[in-house]
Amino acid sequence: MASAHNTSGKLLHPFAEPAKAEGEFINVVSAEGSTFTDDTGKTYIDGMASLWYCQVGHGRREIIDAITAQLNTLDAYNIFDPFTNDPARAVAELILEKSPFDDGRVFLGCSGSEAVDTALKIARLIQQRRGTGEKQIIIRRTHGYHGTNFGGTTAQGIVANREGWGDLVPHFVEVPNDNIEEMSKVFAEHGERIAAVISEPVQGAGGVWPPPDGYLQGIRRLCDQYDALFIADEVICGFGRTGSWFGSQTFGVMPDLITFAKGVSSGYQPLSGVIVNQPLVEELSEPGFLLRTGYTYSGHPAACAAGIANIKIIESEGLAERAKHIGHKTVEGFDALVADGTIKGYRGIGAVWAADIGRDSTPVKFDMLDRGVMARGVGEAIIWCPPLVVTDEQIATFIEVLEASLR
Ligand SMILES: Cc1ncc(COP(=O)(O)O)c(C=O)c1O
């Protein structure tokens, strides 16, 4: 994909071949609603909400104005003790209110990876403080994706992403992603040493794998039985994607810690965090105890202002509910493609779906891009995770283009 401008090659792209020429990348110059446009003037349907994050669509004036107003008042100031700021307080309150927890506290960061590593640290911290120092094992699932910091890299169930970095974090044990019996066996064997289980409600980057029926409840039961903590990584599932504010609500399960990022701000500013359920907060509330973790930009006022404006849009436009409508329309299209043998099957929930095309998805994904639809390819799956404002016409176009590319 040649780009007309900006062919200087100084940028080291994430998840890309370092030697790939800068001119071969698609240079995105603007975006509006559920579309984006490159520097040749070609417009695409944003079938991945960029990278699973843009719930409210691009170019939302309310969010841009909120960020601008915030920067004009207080550009940035840290929230390490003794400081705080109004947008950080307000966004924490809003996020907690939408969460499945009755009470608790919200830690803030800038990326899903920061949220995951913080949640892993808090889980181990709680176990250390309970005097169960040997409880350090974190259970991860095959196909899980939890970001690229050292904790999240170790927590991933995607082998290729874990390789080549030298030694990772000790005491992680992997279980098959779809089998609660296998997890029970690991608990039976190592239960007294297990600190926590980390799981996405619906596994996203690993290929969109909804949990088998009762699976998340099974994790909850095992964690209760062995005094382990349940970390729900809701970086993709949070903020409406599965048809509720959080995937934990969609699947009716109560974790101890919830990580979020992406949809909390729809990406207008980097914002993430960890929601800590109240019983754990109480365990950490000993006078004189200091939580020795955090980031320079935790509680960044412009990011928090973006989060507040974004959450208000999701609420006022009923976008979590709308995710279900997107699901119905997508399934209608997929059913037709299954019926005529174009795809083998599909899986997903709300507004996050994978079509099983029964062959390598990479050439199909690029053909779709040529035809103006950005989808993602994982193995033999084409992934569809559009903004929650995607129109019925755009969903129909996605289905038509998928069919055309597969023919
Ligand atoms: C479930 C999950 N956790 C963590 C992350 C990492 O987020 P980030 O890329 O913002 O660090 C991702 C990113 O896709 C994710 O899907």
DSSP bridge pairs for 198: 231
Where is the domain boundary, 297, 316, 335? Answer: 316
360 belongs to a structural domain: yes
Q: How far apart are CA 221 and CA 334, in angstroms?
A: 35
Q: How far apart are CA 262 and CA 254, in angstroms?
A: 21
**Could you tell me the pLDDT band of residue 144, with boundaries at 50, 70 and 90?**
very high
Same domain for 140 and 246: yes
Comparing C-alpha atoms, which of 88, 59, 13, 87 is closest to residue 26?
Answer: 13
- The atom number, within ligand 1, closest to the CA of 200 reads 1
Residues in contact with ligand 1 by the CB-under-6-Å rule are 52, 111-113, 116, 145-147, 152, 200, 204-205, 233, 235-236, 261
pLDDT of 319:
98
27 belongs to a structural domain: yes
Q: What is the count of structural domains for the chain?
A: 2
Q: What is the CATH number of the domain that holds 28?
A: 3.90.1150.10
Same domain for 325 and 224: no
List, for residues 344-360, the tens digit of each pLDDT value: 999 999 999 999 999 99
Same domain for 133 and 49: no
17 belongs to a structural domain: no
Q: What is the CATH number of the domain that holds 148?
A: 3.40.640.10
Where is the domain boundary, 316, 336, 352? Answer: 316
Same domain for 103 and 77: yes
Determine the distance separating the centroid of ligand 1 and the alpha carbon of 343, expressed in angstroms. Answer: 28
- The atom number, within ligand 1, closest to the CA of 116 reads 4
CA atoms 240, 314, 257, 154: torsion sign: positive
- Which residues are CB-contacts of 407 (< 8 A; sequence separation ≥ 6)? 342
Same domain for 400 and 269: no
Same domain for 302 and 389: no
CB–CB of 124/291 below 8 Å? Answer: no
CB–CB of 122/105 below 8 Å? Answer: no
Pairing between strand 229-233 and 194-199?
Answer: parallel
- Count CB neighbours of 318 within 10 A: 12
Same domain for 79 and 228: yes
Determine the distance separating the centroid of ligand 1 and the alpha carbon of 101, expressed in angstroms. Answer: 22
- Domain holding 348, by residue range, is 22-56+317-406
Same domain for 128 and 102: yes
5 belongs to a structural domain: no
| Six token digits for residue 65 | 């104005």
**Could you tell me the pLDDT band of residue 132, with boundaries at 50, 70 and 90?**
confident
7 belongs to a structural domain: no
- The atom number, within ligand 1, closest to the CA of 262 reads 10
Q: Please report, for residues 42, 115, 152, 153, 325, the alpha-carbon distance to residue 147 in angstroms, rounded to integers and kept in the order given.
A: 31, 9, 5, 6, 29
The continuous run of DSSP H or E covering 406 comes out as: helix 392-406
Same domain for 195 and 159: yes
8 belongs to a structural domain: no
pLDDT score of 11 more than 90: yes
pLDDT of 7:
57
At residue 19, what is the residue type? A
356 belongs to a structural domain: yes
Protein residue with its CA nearest to atom 7 in ligand 1: 112
List, for residues 101-121, the tens digit of each pLDDT value: 999 999 999 999 999 999 999
- Percentage of residues of the chain with pLDDT beyond 70: 98
- The atom number, within ligand 1, closest to the CA of 147 reads 6
pLDDT of 2:
45
List, for residues 320-348, the tens digit of each pLDDT value: 999 999 999 999 999 999 999 999 999 99
Determine the distance separating the centroid of ligand 1 and the alpha carbon of 149, expressed in angstroms. Answer: 10
**Could you tell me the pLDDT band of residue 267, with boundaries at 50, 70 and 90?**
very high
Same domain for 302 and 230: yes
How much is the mean pLDDT over the chain? 97
Where is the domain boundary, 249, 282, 316? Answer: 316
Same domain for 322 and 301: no
**Could you tell me the pLDDT band of residue 3, with boundaries at 50, 70 and 90?**
very low
12 belongs to a structural domain: no
- The atom number, within ligand 1, closest to the CA of 203 reads 1
- Percentage of residues of the chain with pLDDT beyond 90: 97
Determine the distance separating the centroid of ligand 1 and the alpha carbon of 286, expressed in angstroms. Answer: 32
Helices (H) and strands (E) in the chain, counts: 14, 15
**Could you tell me the pLDDT band of residue 371, with boundaries at 50, 70 and 90?**
very high
| Average pLDDT for 184-191 | 98
pLDDT of 4:
46
Same domain for 324 and 385: yes
List, for residues 356-367, the tens digit of each pLDDT value: 999 999 999 999
Determine the distance separating the centroid of ligand 1 and the alpha carbon of 244, expressed in angstroms. Answer: 19
